[in-house]
Every structure is written in C-alpha cells, then in structure tokens.
Amino acid sequence: MSSKREQLETWSTLVADTGELAAIRALRPVDATTNPSLLLALAKQGSPLLDEARRLARQLEGDDDPALCCDAFATLTGQTVLELIPGLVSTEVDARLSFDITATVERARRLMALYRELGVDTERVLIKIAATWEGIRAAEILEQEGIHCNLTLVFSLEQALAASQRGATLISPFVGRIHDWYASRGMVIDSPEQDPGVISVRAIFRTLKGLGLDTIVMGASFRNTGQIEALAGCDRLTISPALLEKLADDAGTLTRHLDATDIELVPEQPQMNEASFRWSLNDNPMACDLLADGIRRFARDQEALEALLQAEN
C-alpha cells in the first residue's frame, strides 16, 4: 500500500516548509517556502551563502547594507532551493514593513531584481507578505505588475477574502498557531475535527472555491500529521521535514476531506474594504493577536539575521 504522503500527493501539492537544502534533497517536494526564522536558522549553521550575499550586496550597492545583505541571502537561498525542486519558492519581505504599502512594494521589487541578477526565472518566485491591510494592498499592486504573491499569517476568513478579492496568487492560512491559541486558553481539542485551526482552513477553502476565486489555498503551520490529514485535498500544504517523513513512513489509509469540484458556487461576497477588514480583525481576538505576534516574531528574526551578517563581516 502507498504511504500517506503518496496518497496525499494525489490530491494536494506538497511544499517543504524549510530552507534546509539537505532536507529538500531528501524529501523532493514540489515547492518550498522560506521565512526570516528559517533563514536565520540556516545562517546560524554557517551557510556559505552568507559570504556570497555580502559580495552580491557590495556588487550592487558598494556597501554592506544589512537589509540588502539579508535580501541577497534570501534570494541566494531561494536560487539554490529552486535548483532542487520543480516548482516555486516563496521569499518573504521584511516583516517590519508590514504596515507600509510603498515600502513593501519597493522591497518586493528589489527581491525580484536580485533574482533576475542571479538569472532566476522570476515566474518561479512568490513574494511572501504578511496579510495586513497594507500587505494585501501592496500585493494587489505587485500582482498587477506580474509579481506573484503569497499572503502569509492568515488567521481569518476576512483576511483570506480580502487577499483573494485583490488577486493574490496564494494565501497561507495557519493551523497550528490557531490550535495553540485556543489550547492555551483551556479549549480541549481531542481530534482534528474539533481543531479550530483545521476548521478555519476548511472554511477558507470552501468559501473561496464556492465564490469561484482563483487564489491557491496553502494550509500551513502544522503541529501533527492529524491536522495535515484532515486537510487532504487542500490546494497546497506546506509541511516541515519531520512531519513529511512521518507521512512517508505511515502506510495507513488516507481520506480526502477537501475537493473544489464538489463545492457549489455561492452568492458573491461584498468586496472587503479597509474599514470592514480592520473591524473584522478588531472583532476577532485570535486573528488580531496571532497576526501581530507573527509579525513581531519575523521582525525579531530579521533583526537577528541582520546582526549576524554585520557581526561576521
């Protein structure tokens, strides 16, 4: 019998949630995602790409600007990852720009310029942006320019709708962090069917498909294989190497839970505007808390990566 990973791959595109090149070689995913936390972990291991990033930054700007060095390191890592996979890589914009439309657009353009400098086909790159109102508006501009975006840190249907209505190529609704938020407040979660993170991603998937929206839904942030299995059939699933290995080692039978072809079209939803978006977040303590926390975490790791690049210069 085929493994659960093999069964899952017949319904969902599997994405490696790592920048670890050895893991990507071993796991052979279709796509890969990176973020500042994963890049920092890679840098702490003494990646040879750090020196290359400094050289690239000097070549382009003549100095060792830490933000540019970080972007160079991110794109060099992305280039290396793309040599190992057939699909796409996501590269994240500095989380400290999450509330600045113009700065996010400019940084995304710079990341794409760096990829072009490296000779990378930019059609294989997704620019990853936090799903704040400003991030979604920046993605709208970038998508119109032909730069495809991955809206991350999605914790609510309203975030998903706003991003999809504005043409985002892909969204990353999180499971594990939602699970943790409710569990830390005393909710007893005995099965994936009761898991609020799983329930959230299922609702997002079914709503977007029911509205006929083209945005790819990629479930993210998993704590266990049960959460992943409960989302079998989601467009994409970005999974850590450890959980991918567990799925590969499990020969049990998997059931498909999501199928866009079985979802009836529903009446069109009103376009999310700034006021309705901000109110929806304000009225959802979980989504509000987790979006802010996710941005803070990525920002701190970005700062740590910049400090590491400067310290070793």
Burial class (CB in 10 A: 0-12, 13-18, 19+), 8: buried
Token pair, residue 209, equals 């498909």
CB-based contact 180:224 (threshold 8 Å): no
Phi-psi region of 146 (alpha: psi -120 to 50; beta: other; left: phi over 0): left
CB-based contact 157:176 (threshold 8 Å): no
Token pair, residue 132, equals 């704040």
**What is the bridge-based pairing of β-strands 31-33 and 13-17?**
parallel
Q: Per the residue annotation, which of 4, 44, 128, 209 is the catalytic one? A: 128
Active site residue 128: yes
Burial class (CB in 10 A: 0-12, 13-18, 19+), 121: exposed
Instruction: Supply the residues annotated as catalytic.
Output: 128
